Structure 1
Amino acid sequence: MKKIIWLTILSSIFLLLSACGNDTEEKTEDKIWASIQESGEIVVGTAGTLFPASYYPEGSEELTGYDVEVAREIGKRLGVDVKFETMAFDAMLSALQSGRVDMIQAGPREASRDKFGFSEPIKYSFATMIVRADDLSGIHTLEDLKGKKAGGAATTVYSDIARKFDAEVVTYGNVTNDAYLRDVHNGRTDVVINDYYLQKLAITAFPEFNITLHPDLRFHPTTNNVVVSKEAKVLLKKIDEVIADMKEDGTLTKISGEFFGGLDVSKEPEEEVIEIEGID
């Protein structure tokens, strides 16, 4: 009889502790969303230098771009203002982790999945290369990257791809597209590996440069997602609901068309894309 009583007591304690743990977790999650509601503002980290994702049009001090306008629409539907902080891509995850910003937009990677919360994709794409137009920078396969110089940020998946195929990565700070493209043109670097849609539009802005989008190489399918703190589960759930609504009512398609020449980046591409083993 005493044994049964003690088992009942222990079970009750366990259930109480479990309930307390769940309650604490829920309060932490609610605290993040409650803080955003209280301030009436969500802070978004963005580059501000990457056409057409996040940039300042010439002669304008108004930030715009696909990522920017999607973030503004998310804020609008959440009922809060959006404040943007511009920073280098390499600084965004640390800014999110420290609480300096509430959300960014990036693709999920194995190392970051356990540390951050990722929404449903707001953009689908794949990687390709910008090379010199007259000789494709001597690159006809991914293996031809060996010994080439690839311009890029230090911690991106695109730089990881370059290193995997033994290219030397030449890193930059938070510079505009013309710095990358001019260096390929003048031979300081040989290639820029990046998102297909971004590069497709970027090269049209510099017709004087001897550069082109590689005609044959499409690799590493990617997504771009809204990223929040791992603890911000309430916020992430609300963002996912908003993204689903934006896809259903055609808002994402409309914003995409405005910045990607009528193309719809909110849907998965139909092109055959090479998977690269060991690159997440």
Structure 2
Amino acid sequence: MRKKIVTMMMTAALTVAVAGCGSKGAATGSSDDHLARIKAAGKITIATEGVWAPFTYHDESTDELIGFDVEVAAAIAEKLGVEADFQEVAFDGGLTGVSTGTFDMMANGVDVTEERGKTYDFTDPYAYDHAVVVTLASNNNITSFADLNGLTTANSAGSTYEAMGIEYGATVKNVDTLGETMTLVQNGTVDATINANTSAQDYFNTTGTTDLKVAAVDKEVTKYAIPLSKGEDNDTLRAAINDAIKELREEGKLTEISNKYFGADITAE
């Protein structure tokens, strides 16, 4: 009888551990690391905005979540042998969720910065870009990032572009979508927006607007990578994602996805 009770207790404990495999080991009491728990769950939870074309957005006709980051993240999940479980959330909420363990990773054009490196461990970069200042085409007063001092910009809360605006002395108005930022510039509510050059060019091309222009380009290269919560619990997950990125690059898959959404390859520095 005692043997039967012990066996039942062990079975119950194992069930609890597996049920909590998507969260941190400290919370579940499991000795498995994050990658092992993801594999046990059969899925990886991915935070993304779903409102920042062409990186992560919805198809107008089907409402399907699509985009460069969406396809790259799905391809990485496939390499890991698990399902990609996308969760749409505001940019700052996505980053917070990664650090607290709500999400396993984030795919949303998250660029690597020294400040973020204090909180997150980043994978190898999978794409490269430049930050730009977008203004009205008729605006001849803003020709550099320094010219934003004392002016107003619009950007997502928690984004690098918000931080850049503040750094250059601008007052930043927080908005949720790329379209909103561009609209605020167009109607004169703000003076400019700082954003990814790829996103700005895509907006110009898809909307056909001639009211806006790129007024300045940051000389520093933006490196897009996947942020993971800091700590050794993610060492094997980060290594596995790095292997997946390397394989996707060697197979030409990253280039294929990039050409699909940008008409150019932004996956090579």
Deviation, 1:160, is 1.9
Deviation, 1:28, is 7.3
Q: How does 1:230-241 map to 2 (within 5 A)?
A: 230=230, 231-241=233-243
Give me the TM-score of the superposition, normalised by structure 1.
0.80
Q: Which residues of structure 2 form unaligned runs of 5+?
A: 1-24
Other-structure match for 2:5: none
Other-structure match for 2:19: none
- Confirm or deny that 1:265 pairs with 2:269: no
Deviation, 1:188, is 0.3
- Confirm or deny that 1:55 pairs with 2:57: yes
Structure 2: how far apart are the matches of 1:233 and 1:102? 13
**Range moving further from structure 2, 252-261 or 106-115:** 106-115
Other-structure match for 1:252: 254
SS of 1:232's equivalent in the other structure is helix
Amino acid at match of 1:133: A
Structure 1: how far apart are the matches of 2:172 and 2:58? 27
Structure 2: how far apart are the matches of 1:201 and 1:177? 11
Other-structure match for 2:146: 143
Structure 2: how far apart are the matches of 1:101 and 1:36? 11
Deviation, 1:39, is 1.1
List per-residue Cα deviations over 1:212-246 (Å, max 9, x = no partner): 222x5333321110122222111111110111111
Structure 1: how far apart are the matches of 2:51 and 2:74? 17
Other-structure match for 1:113: 117
Q: 1:211 to 1:29 in 2, by over 3 A?
A: farther
Other-structure match for 1:10: none
Other-structure match for 1:161: 164
SS of 2:33's equivalent in the other structure is helix
Q: 1:156 to 1:49 in 2, by over 3 A?
A: same
List per-residue Cα deviations over 1:122-169 (Å, max 9, x = no partner): 111111111101224x20222211222100123222122222221111
Structure 1: how far apart are the matches of 2:147 and 2:224? 28
Other-structure match for 1:9: none
Structure 2: how far apart are the matches of 1:198 and 1:208? 14
Other-structure match for 2:17: none
- RMSD of the TM alignment (CA)? 2.0
Structure 2: how far apart are the matches of 1:53 and 1:182? 19
Structure 1: how far apart are the matches of 2:88 and 2:64? 12
Deviation, 1:209, is 5.9
Deviation, 1:208, is 4.3
- Confirm or deny that 1:219 pairs with 2:219: yes
Other-structure match for 1:205: 206
Contact 2:137 2:212 (C-alpha < 8 Å) held by counterparts:
yes
Contact 2:133 2:145 (C-alpha < 8 Å) held by counterparts:
no
Amino acid at match of 2:53: F
Structure 2: how far apart are the matches of 1:145 and 1:30? 49
Other-structure match for 1:185: 186
List per-residue Cα deviations over 1:34-90 (Å, max 9, x = no partner): 211111000000010000000001122211100000000001111100010001111
Tell me the matched-pair count.
239
Other-structure match for 2:37: 35
Q: How does 1:20-99 map to 2 (within 5 A)?
A: 30-99=32-101
Contact 2:128 2:266 (C-alpha < 8 Å) held by counterparts:
yes
Q: Which has the larger radius of gyration?
A: 1
Give me the TM-score of the superposition, normalised by structure 2.
0.83
